[in-house]
Structure 1
């Protein structure tokens, strides 16, 4: 597929489960309340960085969590209720349908909501690469999952997130993206080790504040 003469203005879809159930793999070192606060902080920093990216037109967060919806709408995100309420992939498919019901030719990219070190410039480079192919995906830092899945106008998103999603997205026909200097777009946070890696990159202000309040696993270097 030839790249568009005019770069697309992307709509990002971010799924977010109810905060009370979020970040369960941090449970060994963080209580339920701390996990919920961290999950919200991750999402706030992800949305803020995404909206600061010049390639991004808007961000649609698919969630049924009222607290998250209010906080993320205040940052400029559009909230799409998770009508299917049946898991990550149905939420993304529903969000894609909602966006294209308004803008049928939208370029879409599903982006994880747990990228607290996300850099707008790095996201822009990934989306520039994604614009060269009908569907594309970016593997996570661990190399087995996915942090971004894109679909150009006229293409279905067809998400296959979950266990070993890198292999499943490749099998679905999506092109894997290899973008140098895009580590912040790959560094999602599921475990304490992931959080330490994100902190080493430099997390956004909401996550930094949550960590400074003592919300989350310890010890983690926030310097």
Structure 2
């Protein structure tokens, strides 16, 4: 990570409550935590990223974070928007900020770096998930107040907030969050070492 550049903010649900769409898979909590740690590692290695902030109420995850990652502890999970508001408040307006979900199993650092470089041209920017309805990257340039509206159809909500959609190819790991057993099967060959180790 560099002294100047983006602050990447990653909210992480407690593992016991995460990845409910994986169903009764006994590995669900382990997969969720592995996904988060792999995604965090990718962010720390991305060119142009100066700070990585993780917001979580998961005490076990907090003890596993790599050095240099900033932890914002929640007493209880507050939701994505509240977590990001807390992280953005810590960063302040002098640095560009980006929100990243903790389940981008196939994301590569170079893909994140390229997307952040592209997003720097817009006051606010957004990248949709593969389905085109969710959000995988949300940004605000330095000096621009943070705003987010996660939930169903968050991509449309973020467009309504004035975010510029960024063109990212459909095969990019930045488009593919992992929610379902089919996602897990399809993304596993491209996943990080922790996810491959538990899935």
Q: Same fold (TM over 0.5)?
A: yes
Map of 1:220 onto structure 2: none
- The superposition leaves residues 47-104 of structure 1 with CA deviations (integer Å, 9 ceiling, x where unpaired) of 11111111111210001110011112x354211123684311111111111222xxx4
Quick one: which of 15, 29, 39 aligns to 2:32?
Answer: 39
Distance 1:111 1:179 in 2: 15
Map of 1:3 onto structure 2: none
The TM-score normalised by the length of structure 1 is 0.83
Q: After the TM superposition, which parts of structure 1 deviate over 6 Å for at least 4 consecutive aligned residues?
A: none
Would the alpha carbon gap of residues 181 and 120 (structure 1) be closer, same or farther in structure 2, given more than 3 Å must change?
Answer: farther
Say yes or no: does 1:19 pair with 2:15: yes
Residues 57 and 76 in structure 2, CA contact (< 8 A), matched pair in contact too = no
Say yes or no: does 1:197 pair with 2:186: yes
Cα drift, residue 158 of structure 1: 0.6
Cα drift, residue 191 of structure 1: 0.8
> How many residue pairs are counted as aligned between the two chains?
196
Q: SS state of the match for residue 64, structure 2? A: helix
- The superposition leaves residues 22-43 of structure 1 with CA deviations (integer Å, 9 ceiling, x where unpaired) of 1011114x13xx1111011001
Structure 2, unpaired ranges of 5+: none
Query: In terms of mean alpha carbon deviation, does 107-116 or 187-196 score higher?
Result: 187-196
Larger Rg: 1
Quick one: which of 160, 176, 197 aligns to 2:165?
Answer: 176
The TM-score normalised by the length of structure 2 is 0.92
Would the alpha carbon gap of residues 75 and 163 (structure 1) be closer, same or farther in structure 2, given more than 3 Å must change?
Answer: farther
RMSD between aligned residues: 1.6
Q: SS state of the match for residue 71, structure 1? A: coil
Quick one: which of 96, 113, 122 aligns to 1:133?
Answer: 122
